[in-house]
Amino acid sequence: MRRSVLIAGCGFVGLPLARNFVSSGWETHAITASESSAANLQGEAFRVHAANISERTGLKAFADHSFDVVIHCASSGRGDVSRYAAVFLAGTQNLMAHLDYRRLIFCSSTSVYAQTDGSWVDENSPANSVSETSQVLRKTEDMVLASGGTVTRLAGLYGPGRCVSLQRILEGRAAIQEDGKRVVNSLHQLDAAHALRFLAEAESSGLFNVVDNRPVTEMEWFHYVCERLNKPLPPRGPRDYNRKRGWSSKQVSNKKLRSLAWEPIYPTFKDGLDPLLRGVGT
């Protein structure tokens, strides 16, 4: 029988993820919050539903469905902690309470690791970010793990149409924090989708970091990109403590996921950024 998946949240990661499942023959359903986003996806080869997972009654259209896998891939957008609680915590509680499924995968973030000393962190490391938004993610993670589900901690996403630091360079708004030694951890959009598909089919559940193979300092990142764009390095600035998920500097390990034989398509930020840099006329 055909396997079926429901992807709750069909945006930057959810869309390539849904296409990935379709191309592997899965019966694929995806949810967006708004009718307008659902309408934009009407040409896709999967079923699209507009539904609010944060509402108790939001999932009633799926009462008669049974899914092999459900993936929570919705985001809080630019929302505050109450939006986090609605989308991540209440949204996941609703998926768990109102859907019939065999496996649940929740997309969390590497921002839950609060380390600031540039050390390596893996799934056994403390994840004690004090930011309120990260605490909502941790609470949701614990709930999913306690139910036997899978949690993926995704690193900073980039891909066609979205790369925050590149955009800042192009708009002349970039700054290198302090001496540039802060470590950044990146993940290409297609590798996020690829890892989620991989974990949907894997025998293992539990907690997995999803990140490329090589964390780099901000300085290395900006050097490479500015050289490729033939632009000067951005000016130095103070630490950016305005980050919603807290300020951190750590090297996130993907060893656990790679031990299952997953490999990123874009192992380093250079591999993933090169096609984007060509697109901006280098």
Q: CA-to-CA distance for 202 and 163, rounded, in angstroms?
A: 30
Query: What torsion, rounded to 10 degrees, do the Cα atoms 194, 198, 200, 204 define?
Result: -140
CB of 119 to ligand NAP, least distance (A): 20
Of 34, 57, 128, 147, the one binding ligand NAP by CB under 6 A: 34
When asked if residue 186 is in the footprint of ligand NAP (CB under 6 A), the reply is no
**What H or E segment, with its residue span, contains residue 101?**
strand 101-109
- Whose Cβ is closer to ligand NAP: residue 156's or residue 246's? 156
Find out whether 67 and 57 touch, Cβ atoms under 8 Å: no
When asked if residue 32 is in the footprint of ligand NAP (CB under 6 A), the reply is yes
CA torsion sign for 213, 217, 220, 223 is positive
| Segment interacting with ligand NAP, rule: CB under 6 A, options 19-27, 50-58, 113-121, 266-274 | 50-58
**What H or E segment, with its residue span, contains residue 7?**
strand 4-8
Give the total of residues touching ligand NAP (CB under 6 A).
Answer: 27
> In sequence order, what are the residues at sequence separation of 6 or more whose Cβ sits closer than 8 angstroms to the Cβ of residue 16?
189, 190, 193
Binders of ligand NAP among 104-143, rule CB under 6 A? 107, 109
Of 20, 54, 165, 209, the one binding ligand NAP by CB under 6 A: 54
Q: CA-to-CA distance for 212 and 155, rounded, in angstroms?
A: 8
Q: Which of 245, 250, 8, 210 is nearest to 137 (CA)?
A: 245
- Whose Cβ is closer to ligand NAP: residue 95's or residue 169's? 95
| Segment interacting with ligand NAP, rule: CB under 6 A, options 21-29, 48-56, 143-151, 194-202 | 48-56
When asked if residue 252 is in the footprint of ligand NAP (CB under 6 A), the reply is no
CA torsion sign for 31, 32, 33, 35 is negative
* Helices 189-201 + 14-23 axis angle, to 10: 50
DSSP SS3 for 120: strand
When asked if residue 73 is in the footprint of ligand NAP (CB under 6 A), the reply is yes
When asked if residue 167 is in the footprint of ligand NAP (CB under 6 A), the reply is no
Of 31, 114, 207, 211, the one binding ligand NAP by CB under 6 A: 31
Q: CA-to-CA distance for 187 and 209, rounded, in angstroms?
A: 11
Name the residue number minimizing CB distance to ligand NAP.
11
- Whose Cβ is closer to ligand NAP: residue 4's or residue 140's? 140
Contact string (CB under 6 A) for ligand NAP, positions 140-159, x = contact? --------------x-xx--
For 4, phi then psi, to 5°, come to -130, 145
Q: CA-to-CA distance for 171 and 63, rounded, in angstroms?
A: 47
- Whose Cβ is closer to ligand NAP: residue 72's or residue 103's? 72
When asked if residue 234 is in the footprint of ligand NAP (CB under 6 A), the reply is no
CB of 232 to ligand NAP, least distance (A): 26
Contacts with ligand NAP by CB under 6 A lie at 8-14, 31-34, 37, 51-54, 73-75, 77, 87, 91, 107, 109, 154, 156-157
